[in-house]
Amino acid sequence: MIQLAQLHFAERLLRQRKSQRTVARTAQISRGTVATIAAGLHRHQLAPDSPQTPDDWTTTYHRCDTCGALVHLPCLACQLREHLRLLGKYHAHPHR
Ligand SMILES: [Zn+2]
């Protein structure tokens, strides 16, 4: 289990476009967990009682450079695609 502070630290690093490998090493969490956080699917991010979302998550939409969708950056759709790509790479038969 990771601490909320680690989760928020990892999210901040990911917003700074750090690689997931770098984020994992810097925040001292597993690369699988970083991939989950990058995709916005970590249970701390999904929990209804999660403390709060970053201000920029709720207030501003931006055009995603990668897919062109109007989204909250970083683009969840692109992160999810990256997450699924990593799952496909590292786990040929994902169970979840
Ligand atoms: Zn996108």
β-pair partners for 71: 62
CA distance 60 to 70: 10
Give the number of other CB atoms < 10 A from CB of residue 45. Answer: 15
pLDDT value at position 91? 54
96 is a domain residue? no
- Distance (angstroms) between ligand 1 centre and the Cα of 51 equals 26
Looking at the predicted structure, is the pLDDT value of residue 78 above 80?
A: yes
78 is a domain residue? yes
Q: Name the residue range of residue 68's domain.
A: 4-90
Total of domains in the chain: 1
Residue the block writes with tokens 């683009």: 75
- Distance (angstroms) between ligand 1 centre and the Cα of 63 equals 8
Q: What single DSSP character describes residue 80?
A: H
Q: pTM score, two decimals?
A: 0.47
95 is a domain residue? no
- Distance (angstroms) between ligand 1 centre and the Cα of 60 equals 15
Q: Is 60 helix (H, G, I), strand (E, B) or coil?
A: coil
- Distance (angstroms) between ligand 1 centre and the Cα of 64 equals 5
CA distance 13 to 80: 17
Higher-confidence residue of 95 and 16: namely: 16
Residue the block writes with tokens 């403390």: 51
Q: What is the pLDDT of residues 17-44, one digit of tens each?
A: 999 999 999 999 999 999 999 998 888 7
Looking at the predicted structure, is the pLDDT value of residue 52 above 60?
A: no
- Distance (angstroms) between ligand 1 centre and the Cα of 49 equals 27
β-pair partners for 62: 71
* Confidence band for 56, pLDDT divided at 50, 70 and 90: very low
50 is a domain residue? yes
